[in-house]
Amino acid sequence: METKSLEQSGNLFTFENTPCVCLVDTVHDENGNAISSFKVKASNNKEPYLYAYAPVDGLVMINKKTGSVIDEMNPMEDFLGINLKNPNELKDYIEKYGFFMPLSAEGFAEIDFSALHKILIHFKIVVRLLSELNAKSISYDKLFKETFALIFDRPQSITINSTKGELRSCLHLFTQYWFQPDQIEEINNYVDTQTGDPYQDYYYFPDTFTRSEKHLCYVDYHEYTDVDNAFGYEPSQTRIDISKLVYFYKNAFPADMLTRNIIDFLFHLNEEVVKIEAIFSNGIIRLKDDISIDSLDKFTDNYKEFLRKITKQVIKEEFDFALYSIHPTYNIETMSPGWEIPDLFTALFFSLFYMRPEYEIYRQCANPNCTRLFRVKTTNSRQMYHSPACQNAAAQMRHRLKNK
């Protein structure tokens, strides 16, 4: 059903995306684990899809002949509803809306599913973080885990040689330091107090969390080592010895302000609030006993304010990275400004960039079996389900639990 004219809603940008063919290949390794990849190529017998961003509706698909919005096509909310761990769900989305980067019709390009999943999940996390920051009651545990999932995840990239297209996850400056610590030169500002007591000897440097000169006792500082495959986790979830934090805390100078904020926050959290048991290379951060920081009295307002500041800075870096390839253009036919959008993934980020969180946000469906993100007015505190079916399902679930 096509009802709304694009001209009536006033589009802010348009772009075309090529329909494509998508195949899923799955093999199994020696342990029986499934490893999936996509084979994708552009369809040369179909017209390109036309997308636009309209202030009221967000990212929409346009009928080229009539110029009207195709109501049943919702690229943003459909993407947010995908279980990105399921290759077949992602395949269906790609065949419906096109691939996330330019494709050639000459032959199939092979795309590693794991790498694509890790790139796309960044977008979903940014949406969830924006939602959480604007919630009436913030879950700092969610804010903590989601923010650090972005900066501790190993950077990923996908390249298609035939189109010279490239898709990358955001490389935060902190992440660059974390996975390439040899960039850091050790600081040798060790102060020997000449007392003979090593507990009185120290290093000194500024601390952004306490806003003071921090003195790190000599005996508290030691070399870190990477520990592989700890706790029986898969090698892809390499555990990092937490002493690496101490190494960064002492030596990561000079560094950008966000990097220092992250290091100082984590150092004090580990020293004063709760022990960080492990940081994995897939972005998962694990606290002692898997405790929620929302339940900790020592996680004071100072920590909460600092975490919110870090989250906002991380979101900004994600946007800056995702939108760097966009540039303004001018249409001489309509004598109007516009933007040149390179691919669908950038368009998703750009449409989120245009959202005003004080007016509308994406909220997670309260049905535990759904958890889909849906757009809602910020002032609407009552709409907790993305559909009546989810609301009824959740009510039935509560009724069954009550009867038990």
Position 358 scores a pLDDT of: 60
Instruction: Supply the pTM of this predicted model.
Output: 0.84
Residues 6+ apart with CB under 8 A from 172: 150, 151, 258, 314, 317
Which one has a higher pLDDT value, 145 or 227? 145
pLDDT tens column, 1-26: 333 444 434 457 888 999 999 999 98
Tokens of 193: 């107090």
The single-letter code of the amino acid at 270 is N
Mean pLDDT, rounded, for 366-385:
68
Distances (CA, A) of 164 to 18, 98, 109, 111, 167: 15, 17, 12, 14, 10
How far apart are alpha carbons 275 and 90 in whole angstroms? 37
pLDDT at 314 over 70: yes
